[in-house]
Chain A
Amino acid sequence: MDTFAALAHGMAVAMQPMNLLYALIGVFLGTAVGVLPGIGPALTVALLLPVTYKLDPGGSLIMFAGIYYGGMYGGSTTAILINTPGESASMATALEGNKMAKAGRGGPALATSAIGSFVAGTMATIGLAFLAPWLVDFAVRFGPEDYFALMCVAFVTVSATFGDSPVRGLTSLFIGLTLGLVGIDKLTGQARLAFGIPELLDGVEVTTLAVGLFAVGEALYVASRRHHAEEKLEPVRGSLWMTREDWRRSWKPWLRGTLFGFPIGALPAGGAEIPTFLSYSTERRLTKHPEEFGKGAIEGVAGPEAANNASAAGTLVPLLTLGLPTSATAAMMLAGFQQYGLNPGPLLFAERPDLVWGLIASLFIANGMLLVLNLPLVGLWVRLLAIPQPWLYAGILVFATMGTIAAKPSVVELSMLAAFGVMGFLMRRFDFPIAPVVIGLILGPIAESQLRRALAISLGDPMVLLQSPMSATLLGVALIALLAPFVLRGLGRFKANED
Chain B
Amino acid sequence: MTPDTASENLPRAPARRVDRAGVVIAAALAVLAAVLVWDASKLPSTTMYGMGPEAMPVVIAIGLVILAVGNLIDALRGNLPPRESMDPKPVWLIIGGLALLIAIIGFGGGFILATSALFITTSAAFGRRAVLADTVIALVITTLIYLAFDKLLTLSLPAGPLERLL
Contact = CB atoms under 8 A, between A and B. Distances in A.
Interface of A: 50-51, 53-54, 164-165, 167-168, 170-171, 174-175, 177-178, 181, 185, 187-188, 190, 192-193, 195, 216, 219-220, 223-228, 389-391, 393-395, 397-399, 401-402, 405-406, 409, 411, 414-415, 417-418, 421-422, 425, 429-431, 448, 451-452, 454-456, 458-460
Interface residues of B, number: 73
Nearest to B106: A411
A459 B49 contact: yes
Contact of A430 (B83, B153, B154): B83
Given A167-B67, A171-B71, A421 B98 contact: yes
Contact of A409 (B71, B122, B158): B158
Given A51-B153, A401-B115, A188 B53 contact: yes
A223 B99 CA distance: 17
26 contacts: A167-B67, A168-B74, A171-B25, A177-B63, A178-B32, A178-B64, A181-B36, A188-B52, A190-B44, A193-B57, A226-B87, A390-B127, A394-B126, A397-B122, A401-B114, A402-B157, A405-B157, A406-B157, A411-B102, A415-B102, A417-B98, A421-B98, A451-B51, A455-B50, A455-B51, A456-B50
B81 interface: yes
A393 B86 CA distance: 18
Interface in B78-107: 80-81, 83-88, 90-91, 93-95, 97-99, 101-102, 105-106
Interface in B109-166: 111, 114-115, 118-120, 122-128, 134, 137-138, 141-142, 145, 149, 153-158
Contacts of A401: 98, 101, 114-115, 118
Contacts of A414: 98, 101-102, 105
Contact of A53 (B53, B145, B155): B155
Which A-B residue pairs are the 10 nearest by beta carbons?
Answer: A455-B50, A390-B126, A223-B90, A394-B122, A167-B70, A185-B53, A390-B123, A460-B49, A390-B128, A418-B98
Nearest to A195: B39
B105 A411 contact: yes
Contacts of A402: 111, 115, 145, 149, 157
